[in-house]
Structure 1
Amino acid sequence: MKRHFDTTAAAACVLALGTGLATPALAQGTAAGNVTIYGLVDACLARADLGANHLNALNSGCLFGSRLGFRGTEDLGGGHRAYFTLEGGLSLDNGQLGQGGRIFGRKALVALGGPWGAIEMGRDYAPAFYLVQPVDPMGLGIGTASSSLWTGSAATTAARNDNAINYLSPTWGGLSLRLQLSAGEGGAGGARKSKGFNLLYRSGGTTAGLSHARVANAADTDEDRATTAAVRHEFGAFSLSAIVQSGAWEGSRTATAPASASSVFSRKYRSYLVGGTVRAGAAGKVAASIKRYDDRTSRNYDLTQFSINYVHSLSKRTDLYAGYSRLKNERGSTYAVSDAVNSYSGVSTGATTSLLAAGIKHVF
C-alpha cells in the first residue's frame, strides 16, 4: 500500500537515509506537494549446483530486487509537471544497501514533462531494459533473460547508467520512443559514455519493440554494441514471448581474447529466448523460458538454459514463489545461473549448473 506525505516529511526521510539524522532545519525551504513512499521486500532460500560444489543460502531478491523508494510530482499548469524518483536497493538478508552501497542505486532522477514528452536526468535503466523486462516471461527473476541478454548498460549486471539524460516521447497509437545519452565524465567511478534508444509498442495484449545500445570502452576508442528485438502477446490465460539480440563487444574484447569463459558477451554473439506464461487456477501463474547463447567467435563459448517459475498470490501485495533454472555450459565456459539480484558464480569448467529457489515477496 502506498503512503502519501507532504514534501517536508518525505525530504526528512530521504536525508535521514544518507546522514542518519533529520534536523529541524530540513523543513525550511521545501515546497508543498505530495510524495509517495513505496517499496518491495523479497527473501528466498536458494540452493545452487555449481558442478564440483553446492551452495545453500538465504538470499534477498530471487524474484524481485528488494527496494525502498520515494517519488513525487508537481503540477506546473498547462499540461506540464515536474517529478522525481529516488529508489535504493536493499539486501534483506543482511540489511545492507544494494548496488555497491549506493543510497539510491536503483534509480535517482529529476524530470520535467509536458505534452511534448519528458526530459529526465540522473541514474536510470538503459533503454534496452525497458524492452527486455516486460517481455521476459521470468520477469528478470529466477532464470532472468539478463543472464544471456545485455540490457545496454556500462556494467553488464547493473542494467543502469550513471550521468544519464533521457528523452521520453508522447505515445502515438501505442508507440513510444525513449532516447538516452550518458556522459562518461572522464571515466570517474568507472562510468563510460553510452547511448541508446528503444521503440516500444503497447496495444491490447501486445508488447513489442526494438532497442539499440552502444557503450564506449574506458579509453573511448571503441564501443560495445547490441541490437535487441522482442515481442510478447497475451492470449487470455496464457502468453508467448520471444527475444533476439545481436551484439559485438568490440570495446571490451580483443582479437586475441574474443570471448570470456565466465562473462557472457563476446566480440560477436547472438542470443535467443522463447517462453511464456500460463495461469494456474485463480491465484497461480507458471512461467517458463528457453535461452540459447551463441558465441560466434573462435572460442565458441555457448550455453543453453531452461527455467521455470511458479508464483502464487496470497493477496494483491504478497506472493509465494518457487523456481528452477538449469544452465548447460559448452566448450569450457563457466557461465553462472542467476536470479533477479544474485549470480551464482564459482561454476566448474564446462559444468551444467542449476538453481532451485523459493521465497516470499511483499510490496508496500
Structure 2
Amino acid sequence: MTARYIPKRAALACAALVATGTAWAQSSGSSVNLYGVLDACVVSNKSATGAPVQINGGGCYYGSRLGFRGNEDLGGGMRAYFQLETGFAADNGTLAQGGRLFGRKSIVGLAGGLGAVEIGREYAPAFYLLTSIDPMQLGIGSALATIWSGSPGTGAGRTDNSINYQSPDLGGFAVRVQAALGEQAAPLAARGGDSKGASLTYRNKQLYAAVSYESIANPTGTADDRATTIGAKYDFGSFSLSAIAQSGAWQGTRPESAPSSATSIYSRRFNSYLVGGSVRLGGDTLNATYKRYDDRTAANFDATVLSAVYIHPLSKRTQLYGGISHLKNARASSYGASDGNGGYSGVAAGGSSRIIDLGITHFF
C-alpha cells in the first residue's frame, strides 16, 4: 500500500477528535451516539417532463441521514444534550438541504423537571404533529404534499435561529413552543421573517391527538403566513386510523394580485385534509391515505392525492417497500406528486401526476 501525505493541520484535527472521543467515552454521566438511515429507491415518474425512471436516495420513504446525539448528566435532575444531523442523497453521496453540513437538525439544550429548552435549527411544532399522525411517515405520498409543515417556505418543517420549549408529560398532555428570529438586515424590518408556533398534544396507549398554530412574518413584517392544524391517530391493535385538518392563509407570501400558484400548493386562503390508516399483516404493514387540498382564494386550483405503501421488514434494521402516489389536479393547477425527495414537476395544467417507488431502507 502506498503511503499518503497527511497535512499537519489535518493530522492535528484527527488527533483532537480521537482525544475528544476518548474523553467522552471515559466521562461518567455522558454519552454520544452515532446513528443513521440509508434509503434508496427506483422511481417511475409519470408527468409531462423529466426522466421517466430515476434512482433516488434522498429519501423515498425516509430521508437518508447521519446523526450524532449526546447527553451529559449535570446532577440534580438536569442534563445537557445536543443533536447534529446531516442529510444526504444515498444515490450520489451529495449533501441535502441545500448543501448544509447539519441541514436536518442542529440543536443544543438543557432539560430538567420543568421541561427542556433548546436553541438551533429545529422542526416546527406542526411538523411533529404531522410525523406522529401521518401513516406515510413523510415519505411517498406524505402529508407534506398538501399540508404545511409550519416552516418558512414549503420546506420540510425546519426553522433556523429558533429557541424551543418542550414541557414534561402532564398526565398525557404536553406543550411545545417555538420562536425564531428572521435576522433581517437593514433597511428591512427588525422583526421581518420572525416565526412563532405552538402545539398542545395528548397521548395514551391508543390515542394521539394534537393541535398546533404557526405564524411566519414576511421580510417587511407587514403580513404573515399562518395555519392552524388539528389531527388525531387511534391505534386499534391490528390497524390504526388517522385524520388531519388544516386551515391556513399565506398572506405574507402570496400577494393579492397573485393569490394562488399553479405549481406550488398554499394560497392566500386554503384548507387541507388527510384521512388514512395502517394495517398490520403479520410482520408487514400497509399504509394508505387520501388527501384533499382546497384552495379558498381562486377556483380550479384544488388537488386530490391517493397514496399507498407496502413495507416488508427483512430484519429489525432493514426493510423493503413499494409505494404509489397519484395526484389529480383541478383545471388550473399543475402540482406534482411527491415522495421524500420532493415534488416531481412538469405536470400539465389540469393533468395528473403519478410516482411508483420501489426501495430499501437500512437503519443503523
TM-score normalized by the length of structure 1: 0.91
Amino acid at match of 1:122: G
Task: Work out whether residues 144 and 156 of structure 2, in 8 Å CA contact, stay in contact via their aligned partners in 1.
Answer: no
Find the partner of 2:83 among 82, 85, 89. Answer: 85
Task: Work out whether residues 259 and 299 of structure 1, in 8 Å CA contact, stay in contact via their aligned partners in 2.
Answer: no
Structure 1 Cα separation of the partners of residues 324 and 304 of structure 2: 14
**Deviation for aligned residue 1:265:** 0.4
Per mean C-alpha deviation after superposition, the further-off stretch among 191-200 and 28-37 is: 28-37
Q: Aligned in 2, Cα 1:311/1:236: closer, same or farther, shift over 3 Å?
A: same
Query: Deviation string for 1:11-46 (max 9, x for gaps)?
Result: xxxxxxxx8983324537966332000000000000
Task: Work out whether residues 250 and 267 of structure 2, in 8 Å CA contact, stay in contact via their aligned partners in 1.
Answer: yes
Task: Work out whether residues 49 and 346 of structure 2, in 8 Å CA contact, stay in contact via their aligned partners in 1.
Answer: no
Partner of 1:111: 109
1:110-149 equivalences in 2 (<5 Å): 110-149=108-147
**Deviation for aligned residue 1:298:** 2.4
Find the partner of 1:63 among 54, 61, 64. Answer: 61
Partner of 1:35: 32
DSSP-derived class of the 2:169 partner: coil
Partner of 2:320: 320
Find the partner of 1:155 among 148, 153, 156. Answer: 153
1:330-341 equivalences in 2 (<5 Å): 330-341=330-341
Amino acid at match of 1:357: D
Task: Work out whether residues 258 and 299 of structure 1, in 8 Å CA contact, stay in contact via their aligned partners in 2.
Answer: no
Partner of 2:7: none
Q: Does 1:355 align with 2:355?
A: yes
Partner of 2:219: 218
**Deviation for aligned residue 1:51:** 3.7
Structure 1 Cα separation of the partners of residues 312 and 232 of structure 2: 25
**Deviation for aligned residue 1:68:** 0.1
Amino acid at match of 2:15: P
1:163-242 equivalences in 2 (<5 Å): 163-186=161-184, 192-242=193-243
Structure 2 Cα separation of the partners of residues 344 and 250 of structure 1: 26
**Deviation for aligned residue 1:247:** 0.2
Identity percentage of aligned residues:
52
Find the partner of 1:47 among 30, 44, 49. Answer: 44
**Deviation for aligned residue 1:193:** 1.3
1:1-16 equivalences in 2 (<5 Å): none
Find the partner of 2:13 among 8, 22, 35. Answer: 22
**Deviation for aligned residue 1:220:** 1.6
Structure 1 Cα separation of the partners of residues 123 and 44 of structure 2: 29
Task: Work out whether residues 87 and 104 of structure 2, in 8 Å CA contact, stay in contact via their aligned partners in 1.
Answer: yes
Q: Aligned in 2, Cα 1:22/1:227: closer, same or farther, shift over 3 Å?
A: same
Structure 2 Cα separation of the partners of residues 69 and 343 of structure 1: 25
DSSP-derived class of the 2:184 partner: helix
DSSP-derived class of the 1:128 partner: helix
Query: Deviation string for 1:50-91 (max 9, x for gaps)?
Result: 146662100011000000000100011111000000000010
**Deviation for aligned residue 1:348:** 1.6
Task: Work out whether residues 150 and 156 of structure 1, in 8 Å CA contact, stay in contact via their aligned partners in 2.
Answer: yes
Task: Work out whether residues 259 and 266 of structure 1, in 8 Å CA contact, stay in contact via their aligned partners in 2.
Answer: yes
Task: Work out whether residues 148 and 271 of structure 1, in 8 Å CA contact, stay in contact via their aligned partners in 2.
Answer: yes
Any gaps of 5 or more consecutive residues in structure 1? 1-18
DSSP-derived class of the 1:23 partner: helix
Aligned pairs, number: 343
Q: Does 1:249 align with 2:247?
A: no
Query: Deviation string for 1:163-218 (max 9, x for gaps)?
Result: 00001111111110000000001169xx9311001111110111110000001112
Partner of 1:296: 296
Partner of 1:14: none
Structure 2 Cα separation of the partners of residues 297 and 85 of structure 1: 40
DSSP-derived class of the 1:22 partner: helix
Any gaps of 5 or more consecutive residues in structure 2? 1-9, 187-191
Task: Work out whether residues 124 and 149 of structure 2, in 8 Å CA contact, stay in contact via their aligned partners in 1.
Answer: yes
Structure 2 Cα separation of the partners of residues 341 and 120 of structure 1: 28
Per mean C-alpha deviation after superposition, the further-off stretch among 153-162 and 308-317 is: 153-162
Amino acid at match of 1:80: M
- Which structure has the larger Rg over C-alpha atoms? 2
DSSP-derived class of the 1:134 partner: helix
Partner of 1:6: none
DSSP-derived class of the 2:316 partner: coil
DSSP-derived class of the 1:91 partner: coil
Task: Work out whether residues 66 and 89 of structure 1, in 8 Å CA contact, stay in contact via their aligned partners in 2.
Answer: yes
Partner of 2:305: 305
Per mean C-alpha deviation after superposition, the further-off stretch among 151-160 and 303-312 is: 151-160
**Deviation for aligned residue 1:341:** 2.4
TM-score normalized by the length of structure 2: 0.91
CA RMSD of aligned residues (A): 1.8
